[in-house]
Structure 1
Amino acid sequence: MVAEAREVGIVVVFYHPDAECIRRANWFAGFGTCVVVDNTEALRTAVDLGLRADVLYLPNGANLGVATAINQGVAQLLERGCSYALIFDQDSEPSAELLTGLPALVERALRARQRVALIGPAYDDARLGGTAPFVRFKFPALERIEPAGTEPIPVDFLISSGSCINLKAWHDIGPMDDALFIDFVDLEWCVRAQVKGYGVFGSPTLHLAHFLGGEPIRVLGRSYPSHSPLRHYYLFRNATALICRGYMPWTWKWTELTKMPVRLVIYGGWLKPRRAHLAMALRGIWDGLTGKMGAFDRG
């Protein structure tokens, strides 16, 4: 059972794209309606970039964040009558099997009368040791589930890149949270979907190569994804803000609260410039507590 191409839409978020990003976007257009939302701080045209004429290009001329970009892209797909939205970062390199397989899985679930919000692949990150496990929120620690078998696995969240959203549920669940800007955007949406009674599933048979964070650092024999000081601001701010929200699961809140001091020590002690990483993380915690959301204000 394969979803018709006219029902499938693809949203790609650009930020200073290179030639490979353009090539991938042009290739995506062969699988359905492709919307490119460009958060680069300059206004360019599709012709300037070398995008195909059938790629819908939305240049923002500013970095409006991942959440807003996804929302803009999905809005265009809904206007065009799409039923499924595949979401990708600009550097995601999915297979043709994934591009056709994920919408087919969502369609199969809907035909079986399952309330499904999205289905996503297993993620391969060679830098962090191979295929990442799927995750459920449990106490006292996250439950990590190996991607095994042939049937989609109920999980508690998936990263947005590579996931296929059931657009029939979009208006009920609501859009991504613009205020988060970046980081935990996908997790918050998955939680909100489950609060509304929709399921989130990981497909163990479909894989996507994806780098989870920057170049890893090793601390006491264990690898941790690294980020810039600015990304650590968003990570700590959004985690803090979400911990304060009543609908977020207490099991997730517990794991974040226990991880936060460890992350502060690792990022403030091992990543250079140490003072900048620690200062931005602490400012993020403060802004999360005081409700200062959206794009980082350098003032």
Structure 2
Amino acid sequence: MRFTLVGAGAVGALWGLKLFEAGHQVHFVTRKEESQITLGFEHQKPQTFSANQPSLGEDSDCLVVCVKAFQVIDAISAVKSHLHPDTPVVLMHNGMGTANDVLQTLDTNPLVLATTSHGALKISPSVLRHTGLGETRLGGANVSGKQCDFLADVFSHALPSAKWEKDIQTALWRKLAVNCMINPMTALRQCQNGELLSDSLREQLNTLSEEIALVMQAEGLNVASGDVLQHALQVAKATAENHSSMNRDVHFKRRSEIDFITGYLISRAESHDIAVPENRALYQAIKNLELSYDHA
């Protein structure tokens, strides 16, 4: 297949390289005005990929959007004029809340939502480290998107394992719940994920999981707070030496995806009249940090 990857950060580079290794054609769209980019896994020979070539975008069989949640609409608007109306679009980013806006921007394209637990780190602009094996879940967001289940096999062949979900919202909420705990806590403490396994943080994690479970239950998911907590602890243990994306954003004084992670949880809690004070406190702490960047 012919893929266009929008975004050449850690996740975009990971999928671009893996799809290329699986025999697919890969083209990148980046924010820079460059016609080629070089990417490779550490200790391997780098590859040169075409970039920012509208004709390749027009010929693509699939568009995979791997930018930050707050960059999604601008990124799609930039490529919309070069996108065939029947080309499937896959959104792969942390957080929730972009799908409705994308559906309004692209009113004909099949839309697929995806979440992955693979870890990746750019150790230089052109060198990538695959920091942790995980799994990828995909599912349709509109009627035509629900007919793109073949993409699960394509993605799984490139980077196992990938599964198609008839109800992708459940998988997205499970990922959101983990991100609501791991991301802001590790960002504020500037620590690796594994440090959240400390007994001293268990009470805070318990409270967060209880609040998150209430919102998930109101959204129609059959989940207990204990399950939410254990899943987050399992992820923290499996990625103990990793830094969360929000940790890195705070470290480098970049805007984070807090509005689409904890912010989305808070917005859904408000719609159900559910109080989530512990999550609100984390949200405000991250927002205060972001506001301080300009004054540092």
**Is the TM-score greater than 0.5?**
no
Quick check: which one's helix share is greater?
Answer: 2
Compute the TM-score of the two structures, normalised by the length of structure 2.
Answer: 0.37
* Larger RCO, structure (CA 8 Å, separation 6 or more): 1
Compute the TM-score of the two structures, normalised by the length of structure 1.
Answer: 0.37
